A = this chain, B = another copy of it.
Amino acid sequence: MQKPRQKKERVTMDEDRRNLIVERLQMSPFHQWLGLELADCGEGWVEIAMPWRDELISSPEPPTLHGGISASLIDMAGLSALRAAGVTPVGTIYMHADYHRAGRPGPLLARSEVVRAGRSMGIADTRVSQDGKLIASGRGGYRIKSD
């Protein structure tokens, strides 16, 4: 999932900003438990990878991913996307998630893009996929720290 970044020149994004996203992602015990990793990022977007673990199962037969986990990914990926846009989100105001398909045991990828980064509020749209198929999508609204 990790795309190589071999060139020093022509970076699409500030290295400090990327480091901040990773740091904030990993400082959360819940994110650590989920095993979240920044797979890729650019101006106003991120891709977050999540491995599987059996505690994420909602209904056991057949095993399906709990909707609360997709919701957590949408919440958190949107927050990271705003950091990737250079603003400082300080909390989630609301979150909306649509469930398209049952998630199955296996890694997940959440791709989030900023819709709008205003002075006091930011919004990002996120799509959660598995094996290239969309399983959930949604949007988060976040409080932005004004400078």
Q: Within the complex, what minimum Cβ distance (angstroms) separates A2 from chain B? A: 22
Q: How many residues of A contact B (CB 8 A)?
A: 43
Q: Is the CB of B93 within 8 A of A139?
A: no
Give how many copies assemble into the complex: 4
Interface check A56, CB cutoff 8 A: yes
Q: Is the CB of B76 within 8 A of A72?
A: no
Which one of A10-18, A40-48, A80-88, A116-124 is at the B interface? A116-124
Interface check A137, CB cutoff 8 A: yes
Q: Which residues of B contact A56 (CB under 8 A)?
A: 29-30
Q: Is the CB of B28 within 8 A of A57?
A: yes
Complex Cα distance, B102 from A115, in Å, reads 16
